[in-house]
Structure 1
Amino acid sequence: MNIAETLQEKLLSYWEILIESIPRIAISLIITTVFILIAIGLTKLFRKKMMQNAQNKLVVDYVVKLVKFFLILAGIILGLHTMGLTGVAGGLLAGAGAGAVILGFAFKEIGENFLAGVILVFDRPFNLGDTVTVEGNMGKIVSLNFRTTQMKTFDGRDVYIPNILVITNEVYNHTQDGFLRLDFVIGIDYDDDIQKAIKGITEIVNTNKEVLKNEKTIVLIDEFAASTVNLKVMFWVNTLDYKVSALETKTEIMRTVKNYLLENKFGLPANIQEIKMYKPEPIPIILKKESDAIKFTENN
């Protein structure tokens, strides 16, 4: 028997095996596809139902992702078993523990971030939609993934922070309980009545319906600047929307305070600029009165 005949027999043998395996392959693909569709459908329904009444939506979102992952993995293993690849399927299950150890060494960072994500789920330093500051990034929490925490900043950027950095650094949650203190600084003239300004600003701030009345509004002298006495205004609001509601409230109060000071003849001077001339020269000044113009030179 020559090489050509041997090769032909091998190809025919493989072809027959493939034809015989087509039903099993088809059934395997169907089973895997069904499991994937079930995983997508169930987790979508589970997320929708649980999100409505969940106190911590971050936990629900993370658990849904885990359930989806394991359902798809189960579908793949069952599909392999149906195809007759029982050894492969069994190897996936039997080697899960050893594989986890190997992957832990090979992908140390991935393993650390995954475990950090699990810790964040139980520690719960923030919820979905909370405004937080992490690693100098400030924005709303969009999702907690297996490796990263996704944040949407107020200028529209999506920031993905490794979970390990979230649990090893300070996390500032600005909206966990909706209890926020806002502040701003405004300057008045040195000749103005400071006590009158403080009293008037305090009354103006307290008239805003968004300002908490059970927390004291404070107006203090913040700084004696070059041309102004700077007053720091501090007040409390109760809102979970740091981006819109809180900033809109602050803007409205600042506008009202400015109008109050102008209406009551308080000076809002600009910064004074001092110009030093190291080589004094005559400065021409023109004074205009009606149609006459007098030009004279003043020496420094």
Structure 2
Amino acid sequence: MTDQNEKANKPDQTNSTENSEQQSDVADVAQQIDADLGESVERIDNWIDSGIELLPNIILGIVLFFVSYGVGVFVKRLVKRQLLRRDRDNLGEMLGSLLKWIVILLGFLLAATIVVPTLNPGDMIAGLGVSSVAIGFAFKDILQNWLAGLLLLLRKPFEVNDQIEASGFVGTVERIETRATLIKTFDGQRVVIPNSDIYTNAVLVKTAFDKRRSQYEVGIGYGDDIEEACEIIRKAIEQIEEIEKDPAPSVLAWELAASWVTIRIQWWTNIHRSDMAEVRASVIIAIKRALDGAHIDMPYNTQVTLLHDQTETTDGDRGAQREGWPAPKEGTTQPRWRMQQNASNLNHDKSD
């Protein structure tokens, strides 16, 4: 009986032991959670306390940043206003933007040192220098175009509304930006040329001076008087108001061509008062009217083509045309190869 009671009590003891172990594990987990929660709450309290302590610095840093932003905007407007008086608004826009961002960056660095006093301005500037080198390699083309644009605005090889020829395009300069120069072509298209290409390559400025020379060539017949034709042309173009009197237009006999005598006409016009294309059209019309009125021929290119019959059927007697060719027999024709063979035999007989 006792053995049976002991066997019955053993499962109860085992269950109680397992329950106690589970309760102990739950208690340990609860204690760990309480400890972690307490640590987190304590950490949050510390952050709140630190934030409250740094709140004046944070407010001061934010105020300083916005003040630096306002100062940067003011500096930009001031620079633009000063350079606008000198008719250099594009340079004012570029320099103003550069100074604005420099002021904002300095304000940000100063605000950061106020909010976080442990930050060292020297270390920040050194880190900024390393970062700027990396950024410079990454944005090499952009920085190169920006620097080229700044140099173009400082040195002023050309200005807005100038007519230039660059990178194979001809047109009027619309705007010089930080990255590229905008050109409006004469047929109403816009071309964007990178500033680095313009700065490193040749640029033809067509409106760099007040006066500009143009030229045109016309041909007269070999039977006409050259001096008379030159004088007629000179008097005709001198009647055009847009052509400058000083320097006077020149009319020169320039070349003896295949079918005519070439005469070159050169004249000067004021680029600010005249349209070059319209003046050129007026010159051509005046020359044509003057030469037609004087009955001076303006020959066009002619070409003469001689057709030769290879079969000799309609070409006549080759022997009569060229010395050394044997005459064909009456009523017969000879192909070219036979005639050449006969001529060779004839020359051989003569040498013998």
TM-score range, shorter chain: 0.5 to 0.7
Query: Is the alpha carbon distance of 1:48 and 1:63 closer, same or farther for their aligned partners in structure 2, counting shifts above 3 Å?
Result: closer
Q: How does 1:214-293 map to 2 (within 5 A)?
A: 214-240=246-272, 245-279=275-309
Q: How does 1:112-127 map to 2 (within 5 A)?
A: 112-127=144-159
Q: Spell out, residue by residue over 1:40-63, the C-alpha distance to the aligned partner (whole angstroms, 9 max, x if none).
A: 977876676553xxxxx4xx3123
1:260 Cα offset (Å): 1.0
Corresponding residue number in structure 2 for 1:106:
138
Query: Is the alpha carbon distance of 1:39 and 1:72 closer, same or farther for their aligned partners in structure 2, counting shifts above 3 Å?
Result: farther
Whole-Å separation in 1 of the counterparts to 2:136 and 2:77: 31
Structure number with greater Rg is 2
Corresponding residue number in structure 2 for 1:161:
194
Q: Relative contact order (alpha carbons < 8 A, sep ≥ 6): 1 or 2 greater?
A: 1
Whole-Å separation in 1 of the counterparts to 2:159 and 2:220: 42
1:207 Cα offset (Å): 2.6
Q: Spell out, residue by residue over 1:221-270, the C-alpha distance to the aligned partner (whole angstroms, 9 max, x if none).
A: 232233222211011122147xx712211211221111111111111222
Corresponding residue number in structure 1 for 2:177:
145
Structure 2 residues not aligned, in runs of 5+? 1-31, 42-50, 315-352
Report the AA paired with residue 123 of structure 1. Answer: R
Say whether the 8 Å CA contact 1:32–1:72 is kept in structure 2.
Answer: no
Corresponding residue number in structure 2 for 1:134:
166
TM-score scaled by structure 1? 0.67
Whole-Å separation in 2 of the counterparts to 1:40 and 1:27: 20
Corresponding residue number in structure 1 for 2:324:
none
1:181 Cα offset (Å): 0.7
1:140 Cα offset (Å): 1.6
Structure 1 residues not aligned, in runs of 5+? 10-16, 52-56, 283-300
3-state secondary structure, aligned to 1:201 = helix
1:197 Cα offset (Å): 1.0
Q: How does 1:208-219 map to 2 (within 5 A)?
A: 208-219=240-251
Whole-Å separation in 2 of the counterparts to 1:85 and 1:91: 13
Query: Is the alpha carbon distance of 1:46 and 1:92 closer, same or farther for their aligned partners in structure 2, counting shifts above 3 Å?
Result: farther
Q: How many aligned residue pairs are there?
A: 271
Corresponding residue number in structure 1 for 2:100:
71
Whole-Å separation in 2 of the counterparts to 1:167 and 1:30: 37
3-state secondary structure, aligned to 1:141 = strand
Whole-Å separation in 1 of the counterparts to 2:257 and 2:147: 51
- Going by fraction, where is strand more abundant, 1 or 2? 1
Query: Is the alpha carbon distance of 1:277 and 1:42 closer, same or farther for their aligned partners in structure 2, counting shifts above 3 Å?
Result: farther
Identity %: 25
Whole-Å separation in 2 of the counterparts to 1:145 and 1:210: 35
Whole-Å separation in 1 of the counterparts to 2:125 and 2:203: 38
